[in-house]
Amino acid sequence: MNTTQHVTLKLKQFILLEECPEEWKKLDLYMFRDENSVFYVGQSYIAFHRVWDHIKNGYKWRSDVGRFILCNWPKSMNYEIELLSSSAR
């Protein structure tokens, strides 16, 4: 599901994005999940950038979420990233 209030994509698609699309910059909530479970929920000023921080810091062992992705590779490439807005419609 992709709207200006909600974006969902696989991790393997997310990591191909180098820059945050303009319409996603207002999304401040994010989730890491698979088809059955939500692994992590967070909030940040721009969720896109925070998700990238988790991914990059996993390789440095500074992010539990990033480390979880790394330790579950390659299956983790099919995890979903959801970006949402905390503001009311």
Domain harbouring 57, CATH code: 3.40.1440
Q: What total number of domains does the chain contain?
A: 1
Given a cut of 90, is residue 2 above it in pLDDT?
Answer: no
Q: pLDDT digit string (tens) for 32-87? A: 999 999 999 999 999 999 999 888 876 666 778 888 888 999 999 999 999 999 98
The answer to whether residue 18 is domain-embedded is yes
Q: What's the domain range around 34?
A: 6-84
Residue 64 lies in a domain: yes
Q: State the pLDDT at residue 69.
A: 86
pTM of the shown model? 0.86
Calpha distance 6→27 (Å, rounded) = 8
What residue ranges in the chain does DSSP mark as E strands?
Answer: 6-10, 29-33, 38-43, 80-84
Residue 89 covered by a domain:
no
